[in-house]
Amino acid sequence: MNILVLIKAVPAVSGGLDGDQKTTELIINPADLAALEEALQLKTSHRAKVTVATMGIQRCEQLLRECIARGADDAVLITDRAFAGSDTCATSRILAKVVELMGGFDLIFCGRKSTDGETGQVGPELAVRINMPYVANCTGFRLDGNRLYCNCLTDNGSEEVTLMLPSLVTFRNGINSPRLPSLMGLRRANQFQVRTLNFDAVGLPRELTGQAGSPTIVKRSIRKEFKKRQAVVLSVSQMEAAIERIRSYVRKEDAL
């Protein structure tokens, strides 16, 4: 079984956002990390080969090495200045071409959405482009032969969706506890040769990538400053008094 896990580099908010992609601390998108863990569990239970791929700047190679240290088998970096400014439409188009070039995947996993974009569009768009059945917002699954049973959150609760392989699944973050890199994994990651695909290797027309291939136009962006507030520490007696005041207020409201 071959599994492709798509990850995205996102800013580490705890490290601050300086507006410069070259210096902002980058981490693996949390939902993508959950997707990687699900793939690694299948590696153990079904002897799957796990490949990770990301589209981004050269510095993202370090995040791919982190995935190798966690247990992934192969890693691919899709990078070229021609891809800069790609929206979800152009990104999914590029990824679809990469999947076509690499081929042979039984499952494609990725996060439901990224913390920097929050669109949740790339996974489903990719599935449509490569004509692969997909399910989004997955919280768990079981694999039985070529049939995948996914538990998914919906607006009205949850439901189980059945898919036939090959298929694409997007996962929510927080559904598992991603493993940490092992010592042997770190040694392997340091020596691992990450494959790189540039514009020429992908082979798409220039007008279909980057800003030229993106129908979304960003008119303006702003940086939001958050003020730090001093926390108030309550003693046990103060807490009990606060709770009693709330209860008293609720009783008065009920009486009305």
Share of the chain above pLDDT 90, in %: 70
Q: What is the pLDDT of residues 100-115, one digit of tens each?
A: 999 889 999 999 999 8
What's the pLDDT at 256?
Answer: 64
What's the pLDDT at 164?
Answer: 95
Residues 126-153 have a mean pLDDT of 94
Cα–Cα distance, 1 to 24 (Å, whole number): 36
Q: How confident is the model at residue 236 (pLDDT cuts 50, 70, 90)?
A: confident
Q: Which residue has the higher pLDDT, 125 or 248?
A: 125
Q: What is the pLDDT of residues 44-63, one digit of tens each?
A: 999 999 999 999 999 999 99
Q: Which architecture characterizes domain 2-213 according to CATH?
A: 3-Layer(aba) Sandwich (3.40)
Q: How confident is the model at residue 226 (pLDDT cuts 50, 70, 90)?
A: low
Cα–Cα distance, 140 to 176 (Å, whole number): 9
Q: Which residue has the higher pLDDT, 40 or 118?
A: 40
What's the pLDDT at 15?
Answer: 47
Residues 141-169 have a mean pLDDT of 92
- Mean pLDDT is lowest, of 26-35, 39-48, 112-121, 244-253, for 244-253
17, amino acid identity: L
Listed by start position, the domains of the chain span 2-213
How much is the mean pLDDT over the chain? 90
What DSSP assignment string belongs to 105-160? -SEEEEES--TTT----HHHHHHHHTT--EEEEEEEEEEETTEEEEEEEETTEEEE
